Structure 1
């Protein structure tokens, strides 16, 4: 039994005995759970992640037991003292429930009951995945800590993930990382069903048809494949697409052009949430809204007045303004991230990420059937049972039927045409270069549409196809249900028709479960909850004892790999596990182009190539401020046995899952040297590490260096005391008299591995940078020429200064818009922009 289970029983069982005998107040148990929560946050803050996780689990058990006891205690105290107490209690309970149901029938039917249904569906699908532990698969990597690197603009990816990293960081103070992950997984399925249900009900779909649309939107091959790929951010945004689209439709509704500020505010907030979780889904939703707006204007024709059209355009402009304000924090960062990532994509990536022919070796058919994910090797229901293609053709037939029946209707016509067009567009783009029918269109878009190659793999467009299927099939079910209802009211075969209709409706309702049965079966057991090895926590504790600012190098040098304690393959989890700056393989093995923008990657790859001739690796790693080397005994870890032969690496932890080596050389984030040493390449740099102290020089790479003329000797250097203000800001104390030479150089090792945005104050002359045109490059650090003898230096990441303004503007805008939606439900804006009424009672 785990320790947290034993502690929980040791607390709860005695409390239950005291409650049964002495009726002790259950609120004491809740108070104790809150103390445990505070203790968990404190342990997490000081770095005891394993202890914090155990305390958090005990907190959850104690809080649950306390809440249950409070409910039981209230029931006992509310019982009538005379007569048959059980009968009186049951009668009162029945009367209370009946009264509540009658009074809130609409709320129950439209929100409470659907919420219970989709919550139950989520619990059914996730099942054993909700047990304590981390679900680690491909890109879904959670750990004991939430890194904040994205906050400072050092992340290579574009999007609103900066806000998500801050939100996760705050969540980790009140619950363990595995609980945060499980909440996200639950909400993905829950929101998918609930938002699609609200969207369907808005357009008049009845109970069965609305529930079918919601179930299909939650249970389908697209969600199944993306969950196995660990694309939880994309799926979370996907779950909110129906809500975002519905809010936009309400905003531009020509019939109800009131409360524009409030409608635009709530629409902008939801769209910004999409950008936080996945920028691609944000763009897909924007495409859907543009399609709808064009179709709506065409569909309205001359029936609407010019004033209504002008107000509709005004609403769109207000929405755009709100979106810019809410997303300014990452829009300011776009030039940096676009340069780092999107700029490195080429058409080879389009080939590598092309959709796969999952169904009958036909890519277009696979896409139409909601398959086609580029990563092969996943088990799919349709490959085990090809006869399931019959259900797909049923879906396709009902979708076409729904489109033809309702495309010309006044209320549902625009959204029907929009989703029909989106379905066709998504099939064409998602098929991409995999079919000669669509290759020309996709190539044209890839070459001519800005940022289109940022989608990387086109199968993401299937999200729009699933949305279209769910709604259009719902319309068909609504029509069939209405037709059978009218036919069944008369005629001698009324009973038979009603039974046949019921059977048909039930079969259609359960068809998504049959079509994607592997998802319903907890993803066919391919996802499991695991705990990080205890030896990893021991290694972390050893490193935490060293309070200086240093980096940890992690091997094996892979972006994705299998671990011997988990049966799934996933991205490097080390940045979410260790507190220190971690240098790990960031190369995406699925990329055909440049997937790793780390400046350290060329040096590490050269080390691995020359590993058999290296004996002083610690000396070389001092150039990267690496104090510890962590070897995970996974994948091809036997290729890293050379670490045990290094004379300057000390083995401080060794187990079946990992080994930890300590670098015996001194390291520092910043140091001063008096000489520059140029080498022709990384092999020469590695050779020099065997004979000279690497901190004696500021090493640079220059192709013009003659190798035979180099003769290196140990020189003077001075390690500096650097204070880490944040990951983007360092204060460096230098002596008033440097005492090395008349010309000195500052070497600063950036923690992120990206150096293009680092600056100094006072400004120093950069000797070398990654963007230099002089043919000189750095092995991963910054070199500045020091003039004079400054006593204090500040080295900071300049893009964060720009991001900070965006954060402030976005945060203030968010607070104001949330107030506009929830606190001030009606804002009347006069012609010159002054609010005539700020606060009004919410009815």
Structure 2
């Protein structure tokens, strides 16, 4: 590797350590939607075969398989490190230049920004894995555009981190379509449809719809006087104000955002002379910005509400700010190209980091590893090989445990305990209750415990359990953090999810495509396939 190449790799490693150094200590980082456990159960829910919408499919199955081999905390640390190192490296390599400083600017701009910070603090690690894959997907799409041999296999493999989640899979598919060109639309669509099948097949088979109240609750928000549009153009604007870094309220930031946006667009105009698909990537970025702010525009919220009320899967349009990822990539590489004629490229990279100092060191205390209390392992042992589903009290999707420094975190029980755990999935956003999507959780709210064989009570978090209910149950375990009750005389709940056959076929199709891609890259027919003429 040439010294200049080493500088890019060293920069990517430095960015990773600058953010994640405290996270790499022993323990689990539990914040908002990011929950890892020592060994995640491999159950029907992980494959989308439950009554709830498959929002964590296929990532739950992948993590469950991974934790059969290595501890969950190691899986978490590797995933978080990949977000920064792989994302930065991909953005740097995507820029068509021989100047390492330009590549470094792209790497910094793509990973040290408000989008990454806010989504990281919100615990959206699967979305960020897809985000980190986008530059690599773009490079694979450009190879397909140039008719390079085996380029389609590269596209399949680079999309894998993204298809762990539905939004990530769609982000990757859009990026691939933009870079591969019109003549490759059908093969790219085919690859995207098959790889994303494990989540979209059970989603279509699910009878429920998302709560349209989430349209306004999850819409982009202003982080300063510039309003939501400028916040989004600066890669911020996430709906949850609690995760927004303080630096995003800087009164000078809207002006800086305008300057950087203009600079990026000028860089993209220059880049269009060297890299095909630059125009498509820019248009895709504009679409991402539009989707992010549409709920804040006149008539936008009404249109989105109608879609969510009538179209299965349209709930993906909620939290539109996630689509800003499509703008982040052209923004980063365009900004890098405009610095090509400058001698102070490293100063630009440092200034970009200086605009968001509170991403460093795990957000200065936002991300700190903790250990699960011993009660969790004890309850898991008691439930091993025991039939029946577990209901969790108090009824709330999120917890604030004392042992996690009162940080808001998703209830870890469904990913810690064996079997199927039913937890409340309704969300309280800005004082408004957003209905959940799991019918069994809704029944728990109505005090209907049909099919529930166990009740787990979690202590040290806001909310109360129904004491009248607990008096009728048999206490099996009572520790300082958890109590476990047996519901007497209740048979295990019968499976009640989507039809098994189409879901299994979806997994087989995706797995087969991955295996064929790997084999095609290794076998003689793939390795020595004659190159085709460029279009």
| Contact 2:292–2:324 (CA under 8 A) maintained in structure 1 | yes
* Moved beyond 6 Å, runs of 4+: 437-450
Confirm whether residue 800 of structure 1 aligns to residue 500 of structure 2: yes
Match of 2:204 in 1: 335
Match of 1:137 in 2: 31
Confirm whether residue 317 of structure 1 aligns to residue 183 of structure 2: no
Deviations 1:378-415 (A, max 9, x none): 342335543344543442232132134444x2x33x43
Structure 1 CA distance for aligned equivalents of residues 518 and 242 of structure 2: 45
Q: CA RMSD in A?
A: 3.1
- Give the TM-score normalised by the residue count of structure 1: 0.58
Structure 2 CA distance for aligned equivalents of residues 815 and 117 of structure 1: 33
C-alpha deviation, 1:601, in angstroms:
2.6
Residues 582 and 332 from structure 1, CA distance in 2 versus in 1: closer, same or farther, beyond 3 angstroms?
Answer: closer
Confirm whether residue 190 of structure 1 aligns to residue 85 of structure 2: yes
Deviations 1:641-693 (A, max 9, x none): 4456x1x4344433432223344x33332xxxxxxxxxxxxxxxxxxxxxxxx
Larger radius of gyration: 1
C-alpha deviation, 1:244, in angstroms:
0.3
Confirm whether residue 475 of structure 1 aligns to residue 175 of structure 2: no
Confirm whether residue 279 of structure 1 aligns to residue 166 of structure 2: yes
SS of the residue aligned with 2:141?
helix
| Contact 1:272–1:327 (CA under 8 A) maintained in structure 2 | no
Structure 1 CA distance for aligned equivalents of residues 248 and 393 of structure 2: 37
Match of 1:629 in 2: 455
Structure 1 CA distance for aligned equivalents of residues 476 and 346 of structure 2: 63
C-alpha deviation, 1:122, in angstroms:
0.8
C-alpha deviation, 1:576, in angstroms:
1.4
| Contact 1:291–1:418 (CA under 8 A) maintained in structure 2 | yes
Give the 5 Å matches for 1:195-234. Answer: 195-200=90-95, 203-204=96-97, 206-234=99-127
C-alpha deviation, 1:585, in angstroms:
1.4
Task: Determine which of 339, 354, 368 is the counterpart of 1:528.
Answer: 368
- Give the TM-score normalised by the residue count of structure 2: 0.88
SS of the residue aligned with 1:161?
coil
Task: Determine which of 810, 818, 821 is the counterpart of 2:510.
Answer: 810
SS of the residue aligned with 1:521?
helix
Match of 1:305 in 2: none
Structure 2 CA distance for aligned equivalents of residues 431 and 323 of structure 1: 26
| Contact 2:219–2:319 (CA under 8 A) maintained in structure 1 | yes
Confirm whether residue 509 of structure 1 aligns to residue 253 of structure 2: no
Task: Determine which of 110, 128, 153 is the counterpart of 1:265.
Answer: 153
| Contact 1:144–1:576 (CA under 8 A) maintained in structure 2 | no
Match of 2:483 in 1: 659
| Contact 2:137–2:176 (CA under 8 A) maintained in structure 1 | no
| Contact 1:265–1:322 (CA under 8 A) maintained in structure 2 | no
Structure 2 CA distance for aligned equivalents of residues 154 and 187 of structure 1: 30
Residues 814 and 515 from structure 1, CA distance in 2 versus in 1: closer, same or farther, beyond 3 angstroms?
Answer: same
Confirm whether residue 826 of structure 1 aligns to residue 509 of structure 2: no
Q: Which has the higher contact order (CA 8 A, sep 6+)?
A: 2
Structure 2 CA distance for aligned equivalents of residues 588 and 384 of structure 1: 26
Match of 2:49 in 1: 153
C-alpha deviation, 1:134, in angstroms:
0.9
C-alpha deviation, 1:461, in angstroms:
1.7
After the TM superposition, which of the residue ranges 425-434 and 174-183 deviates more from structure 2?
A: 425-434
Match of 2:491 in 1: 668
C-alpha deviation, 1:319, in angstroms:
3.8
Residues 589 and 207 from structure 1, CA distance in 2 versus in 1: closer, same or farther, beyond 3 angstroms?
Answer: same
Match of 1:359 in 2: 224
Give the 5 Å matches for 1:413-812. Answer: 414-436=276-298, 452-478=314-340, 480-481=341-342, 501-502=343-344, 505-544=345-384, 547-566=385-404, 567-590=406-429, 593-599=434-440, 601-602=442-443, 604-607=444-447, 623-626=450-453, 628-638=454-464, 640-642=466-468, 646=471, 648-663=472-487, 665-669=488-492, 749-750=493-494, 755=496, 757=498, 799-812=499-512
Residues 334 and 643 from structure 1, CA distance in 2 versus in 1: closer, same or farther, beyond 3 angstroms?
Answer: closer
| Contact 1:391–1:511 (CA under 8 A) maintained in structure 2 | no
Structure 2 CA distance for aligned equivalents of residues 654 and 524 of structure 1: 36
Structure 2 CA distance for aligned equivalents of residues 394 and 218 of structure 1: 19
C-alpha deviation, 1:454, in angstroms:
2.2
C-alpha deviation, 1:575, in angstroms:
1.3
From the two aligned structures, give the one with the greater strand fraction.
1
Structure 2 CA distance for aligned equivalents of residues 531 and 142 of structure 1: 11
Give the 5 Å matches for 1:47-196. Answer: 104-105=1-2, 109-110=4-5, 112-148=6-42, 149-151=45-47, 153-154=49-50, 156-158=52-54, 161-162=57-58, 164-196=59-91
| Contact 1:247–1:263 (CA under 8 A) maintained in structure 2 | yes
Deviations 1:474-512 (A, max 9, x none): 11011x23xxxxxxxxxxxxxxxxxxx44xx33212022
Deviations 1:72-100 (A, max 9, x none): xxxxxxxxxxxxxxxxxxxxxxxxxxxxx
Confirm whether residue 402 of structure 1 aligns to residue 402 of structure 2: no
SS of the residue aligned with 1:333?
helix
Match of 2:246 in 1: 381
| Contact 2:215–2:318 (CA under 8 A) maintained in structure 1 | yes
